[in-house]
A and B are shown apart, each in its own frame.
Chain A
Amino acid sequence: MSNLKQLATRRAPLCGGHRACAGCSAPNVVRQVLMASADPVVVGSATGCLEVTTTIFPYSAWNVPFVHSAFENAGASVSGIEAAYKSLKKQGKIADEKINFVAFGGDGGTYDIGFQSLSGAMERGHNLLYVCYDNGAYMNTGIQRSSATPRGAMTTTSPVGKVVQGKQQQRKDLTACMVAHEIPYVAQTTPAHWRDLNAKAEYAFSIDGPKFMNVLAPCRLGWGFPMELTMEMCRLAADTCFWPLYEVVDGQYKLTYTPREKKPIEDFLKLQTRFRHLFRPENEHVIAEIQQEVDRKWERLQKLCTL
């Protein structure tokens, strides 16, 4: 694993001056993932915050090749890039050198509209790393619920009304869906745990085949927290076990972080205005149910890690 000093000397793949919000974690995720690659990278991206804030023509924040074509196709698009690389290399039309292929998508572009494209790319076995920066809603279009939005969260399409308050459904466990694809590597992490993220990305780049990383990417606008607390939100997500840090190598589960003390889910929820309504007396049972669900999944994950 590279140390901080080594990482600091690598040229930033994504430079400053982009138009992401202050406190946005997506650029942190991108930098941390790509700086784990000692080899050249080619990046593909779904439509979303990352793409629109970094490529406003005639400017680009990318110091590496960056390819975007549509919303729902990052998996397929990078499949095609990787297939081109394989073909041209095989024919001697390009130099025989290693290039790492990385696809980035938000949760909308990954859990929802791009799910099929991602699944196909993983099944076909392309040598690429797909990274979902999961901010838990369609933030780019103005905070609409996605299948990654946690239960109870207020979004513009799961508003807090007189009868219905926030999202009624549990979030989809995409990381588990990707494990079910039986690909060589699946991991979940956050940019606040940079050593963890770096080690996972380095491992992903070191092996052949399809790899998937689900990275929590707090959105201060959509979640409603002060912009200086982005990394604190990541730590709370991990310490409450809302977002456990783990990896699955060839089907073998491994926890990569165990909180010293598992914090109550309220600690994570109370700093975010999207959950504010849950603290009304009539909604207390919802918090209890969210806690139950977190506990159930955390226990299951721990069991999976002993198999």
Chain B
Amino acid sequence: MGKTRMAKTGNEAMAEAIRQINPDVVAAYPITPATEVMQIFATYVADGLVDTELVPTESEHSAMSAAIGSQIAGARTMTATSSQGLALMYEMLYIAAGLRLPLIMAEVNRALSAPINIHCDHSDTMGGRDAGWIQIFSENSQEAYDNLIQAVRIAEHRDVLLPIMVTTDGFIISHAMEAMEIYNDKDVRDFIGTYKPLQPALDYRKPITVGAIDFVDYYFEHRRAVAQAMTNAKDVILEVGREFGRKFGQEYGFYEAYKLDDAEVAMVCLGSTAGTGKDAIDNLRKRGIKAGLLKLRVFRPFPAEELAARLSGVSQICVLDRSDALAATGGPLFTELLAAMYEDRSEHKIINRIYGLGGRDIKVEEIEELLSAQVSAAAGGKSIDRIAYHGVRE
């Protein structure tokens, strides 16, 4: 396996991954600090190093819209953005997922306005956390590069077919030079394979209608299928991470545990802070404190059970959130981890029923049935699922 060790910033690493992936179409719009990814990639297009059609749109909304059109047409399509740019795409993020398009995005985390600020936090990515995109965070340039290559395989897997964003931290990773390994073009291309769209719109001999209107009779089923794809992504992410390890040397999972086995206190974080955190853990250990770290790599799908299991022996956990949900209940990583760990430790039993999507009615007797079933399960009757869909055709 050929590798070249070189120094690259996060943006350079992502641009290099995109060059090697050689997407059919890239549609993008400039925004700090992600601008450079497309700037570098544009030189590859100008020099004929890639086959890509570059569509430099007049806004991020149009960038995502063009990317969606391109992917529907049957082309492997990528984009890059940050912050307000991602926010301008939010409407289209949901649509990309709902239409089951394996788009790939390089997202450089940056704070959202107001006040306007160009530096790193995770508010932008967190704002899209319920949009149906797979979200993978990176600690450094190497991970950004590795994650983007794996993203192609994950998104395009037949059990998944969901869009995916790989994030770096603005400036901290995007503009910081680090030593990393770049793999040979051929090895990367062999790993990602060629894109075979299921029903490309360009195939006019088999015309399809994309983006039809659903009423109460079908919407819930289609959204249920998106939810299932996100659940399926868990296995695929692990499978691709293992295969990547076999081929390139570094295996990837949902998270990285650092000195966690005997830890009495642990920090949990996303992205570049894990690097800083590892130094802190080492210092604390020298002072006799049994500290450890869990760096979450995959935020969507949220690996709740796996995290709860891995952290079950740790009595003190500090969740570092680089964004605030402004819900008066803490940051998004905190609330989701709290929910994941609650199940094991609480005397209360809370279950979840997702119902009524797309306007489907819920009736009095259905609510009665839901609560009766739970009461009966608690009394030793028929067991019920913790999370389930109510009123959908499975």
Contact = CB atoms under 8 A, between A and B. Distances in A.
Interface of A: 40-42, 44, 51-52, 55-58, 60, 62-70, 72-73, 75-81, 83-88, 90-91, 93-94, 99, 116-117, 119-120, 123-124
23 contacts: A51-B213, A55-B209, A56-B215, A57-B218, A64-B207, A67-B201, A69-B65, A69-B69, A73-B62, A75-B62, A76-B69, A77-B69, A78-B69, A79-B57, A80-B65, A80-B73, A81-B69, A81-B70, A84-B71, A87-B75, A90-B53, A116-B62, A123-B58
B210 A77 contact: no
Which of A77, A79, A84, A124 has most chain B Cβ within 10 Å? Answer: A84
Contacts of B25: 80, 83-84, 87
Interface in B56-88: 56-59, 61-63, 65-75, 77
Given A42-B204, A69-B95, A88-B24, A83 B62 contact: no
Interface string B202-239: 11100111111111001000000000000000000000
Interface residues of B, number: 44
Nearest to A103: B69
B214 A76 contact: no
B212 A80 contact: no
B92 interface: yes
B61 A72 contact: yes
B59 A77 contact: no
B55 interface: yes
Which of B67, B212, B215, B218 has most chain A Cβ within 10 Å? Answer: B212
Contacts of A40: 204
B207 A62 contact: yes
Contacts, number: 167
B55 A77 contact: no
Contacts of A58: 212, 218
Interface of B is mostly: mixed
A56 B55 contact: no
A127 B59 CA distance: 20
A87 B57 contact: no
A65 B204 contact: yes
A56 B202 contact: no
B51 interface: yes
Contacts of B155: none
A178 to B, nearest CB: 15
A80 B210 CA distance: 14
B27 interface: yes
Nearest to B219: A57
Contacts of B203: 65
A83 B55 contact: yes
B68 A69 contact: yes
A226 to B, nearest CB: 28
Nearest to B215: A56
Contact of A116 (B59, B68, B92, B201): B59
B125 interface: no
Which of A75, A76, A77 has most chain B Cβ within 10 Å? Answer: A76
A144 B218 CA distance: 29
Contacts of A44: 69
A79 B210 contact: no
Contacts of B215: 56-57
Given A42-B204, A80-B73, A120-B58, 18 more contacts: A44-B69, A57-B212, A65-B210, A66-B211, A67-B69, A68-B211, A69-B72, A73-B62, A76-B65, A78-B69, A84-B69, A84-B74, A88-B202, A90-B51, A91-B24, A99-B202, A117-B59, A124-B55
